[in-house]
Amino acid sequence: MVQGTPFLLLLCLALVASGFPFPKCVLTGTWINDLHSTMVIGAVDNGGNFNGVYHTAVTATSNKILKSPLKGSQHSANTKSQPTFGFTVNWNFSDSVTVFTGQCFVDKNGKEVLKTMWLLRSHADTIGDDWKATLVGTNVFRRTQHEKE
Ligand code: BTN
């Protein structure tokens, strides 16, 4: 019993260090949202920065949709189990930019989910058109089926 105590202590320390009992939500990977848009997020570096590629399923324009780069930042990299984050998509088939902000949660079934809000800024030809140049909305992202397997 006494001999087992250091082992149990080490086990407890290892569990706490791993974030137990809070499962971690990780941004890196492939995600799909409620509009069927997909995105791939690369590794989050020590400063919380990440890059990725966004493939929107819809557009406010009549242009042909192309995959577009995203750049983001996760708050408190690697310390929170359900981190907040933001990213910008610089659309390469329109004059617009979208900023997303949200939080990476683990739901009651243990599945990761990204709850986001976004602002889509379109190009206004005149300052008088500024009032109608920004759309706002929400998107919910889950890991793609492929990645869950
Ligand atoms: C554009 O239409 O100028 C660029 C594409 C914008 C797509 C928007 S961004 C917010 C919303 N979420 C998506 O996945 N797609 C749309």
**Residue 52 resides in a domain:** yes
Q: Given a cut of 70, is residue 11 above it in pLDDT?
A: no
Range of the domain at 111: 23-143
Q: Compute the average pLDDT of residues 122-129.
A: 98
**Residue 77 resides in a domain:** yes
* C-beta of 116 in contact with ligand 1 (< 6 A): no
Confidence category of residue 139, pLDDT binned at 50, 70, 90: very high
**Structure confidence at residue 80 (pLDDT):** 87
Torsion, Cα of 137, 141, 145, 146 (10° steps) = 110
Confidence category of residue 21, pLDDT binned at 50, 70, 90: low
**Structure confidence at residue 20 (pLDDT):** 64
**Each residue of 74-83: pLDDT tens digit?**
998 668 899 9
What the block records as the tokens of 8 is 């149990």
Q: 140 has which bridge partners?
A: 115
CATH number at residue 29: 2.40.128.30
Distance CA 78, CA 25 (A): 10
Ligand 1 atom at shortest distance from the alpha carbon of 118: 10
What the block records as the tokens of 41 is 């997020």
Distance CA 84, CA 114 (A): 9
**Residue 17 resides in a domain:** no
What the block records as the tokens of 62 is 């009549």
* C-beta of 68 in contact with ligand 1 (< 6 A): no
**Residue 5 resides in a domain:** no
DSSP secondary structure code for residue 128 in this structure: G
**Residue 128 resides in a domain:** yes
* C-beta of 139 in contact with ligand 1 (< 6 A): yes
DSSP secondary structure code for residue 8 in this structure: H
Confidence category of residue 19, pLDDT binned at 50, 70, 90: low
**Residue 16 resides in a domain:** no
**Each residue of 29-48: pLDDT tens digit?**
999 999 999 999 999 999 99
The HSE-up count of residue 126 (CA atoms within 13 Å, CB side) is 2
* C-beta of 93 in contact with ligand 1 (< 6 A): no
**Residue 123 resides in a domain:** yes
Indicate the number of domains in the chain. 1
**Each residue of 66-113: pLDDT tens digit?**
999 999 999 986 688 999 999 999 999 999 999 999 999 999 999 999
